[in-house]
Amino acid sequence: MSELSVDHLLGIRGLTRDDLELIFKTASEFKEVLNRPIKKVPSLRDLTVANLFFENSTRTRLSFELAQKRLSADVVNFSAASSSVKKGETLVDTVNNILAMKVDMVVMRHPHPGAHHFLSGKVSTTIINAGDGTHEHPTQALLDAFSLREKLGNDLEGKRIAIVGDIRHSRVALSNILALKLLGAEVRVCGPATLIPKHMISMGVEISHDLDETLIWADVVNMLRIQLERQGDANSIPFFPSIREYTMNFGLTQERLNRLDKQLTILHPGPINRGVEISSEIADSDHSLILNQVENGVATRMAVMYLLAKR
């Protein structure tokens, strides 16, 4: 197979296992390019890509922009905070105005789940989801799986991967579950009951509220940050009593890892709340793939844009 089965990357849902394998193979080729002295190829020389960020980002935004530049695309960046969205312009009008300037592909992060699906039915361009609210973050899941395959080997069949923390508010969790299940891994989510949504039961994943038991079960732990910005206002009922209690029950510490008779591989999508869901000692340890994930994000996003442009 040399082509993706989709015209947009709206989510991991909708992709096939063959799509994932093609993206990983292409990303490996681009990673080899990124390790050369001249890190640039002309693959998207005639393409103009707009990065539309309606929500904050460090890693995803810079990673997409670098990937576009490494592929020789022309790039324009849009930040909602300094745009005419503030004057009341709709999403469709904003995007159609940008497309009128002869833009070929849109990479978008938006706070509303489903914004990309909505947009793909309204405008005529290739759309890549760089995160839609609490729904999906497909390129994060792709780069996470790519990083795991580098570390554990290409076959993730039967590997036990625990996703720990604020599952309720995490787009990374849903995309990771979908990708890892497609690749044959066993997946467990672990966190306080209030932060694990009921629909997880129908996703074929195990559910646990006990981090220590989960660490015994797992080969890999993907630690998610508490999304403090999505925990509601001061009048809402909190999802957990205090940060201190959350860390006592669900924080990954060296003390916890020392009780195991094995080495776990540690993932975190970033940004990290050091000392909350993960200690600095672990985040910076040899078993943490955090910076490998960031490095692999560029090659993975190059692969996604290249393969979608081919269609």
Using CB under 6 A, list all residues that contact ligand CP.
Answer: 57-61, 131, 137, 140, 269-271
Q: Which is nearer to ligand CP, 43 or 63 (CB)?
A: 63
Q: Is 109 a catalytic residue?
A: yes
Contact 75, 101 (CB under 8 A): no
Catalytic residue among 48, 59, 112, 253: 59
CB of 288 to ligand CP, least distance (A): 15
Q: Which is nearer to ligand CP, 103 or 290 (CB)?
A: 290
What is the Cα–Cα distance from 52 to 17, expressed in whole angstroms?
28
Q: Is 87 a catalytic residue?
A: yes
CB of 160 to ligand CP, least distance (A): 23
What is the Cα–Cα distance from 38 to 25, expressed in whole angstroms?
21
In the block, residue with structure tokens 């994060």: 140
Q: Is 26 a catalytic residue?
A: no
CB of 6 to ligand CP, least distance (A): 21
What is the Cα–Cα distance from 227 to 244, expressed in whole angstroms?
15
Catalytic residue among 109, 116, 149, 268: 109
Measure the CA dihedral 29/35/41/47, to 10°: 80
Catalytic residue among 36, 86, 87, 199: 87
The residue number with the shortest CB distance to ligand CP is: 60
List beta partners, residue 222: 163, 267
CB of 55 to ligand CP, least distance (A): 8
Q: Is 137 a catalytic residue?
A: yes
Q: Is 58 a catalytic residue?
A: no
Q: Which is nearer to ligand CP, 60 or 222 (CB)?
A: 60
Enumerate the active-site residues: 59-60, 87, 109, 137
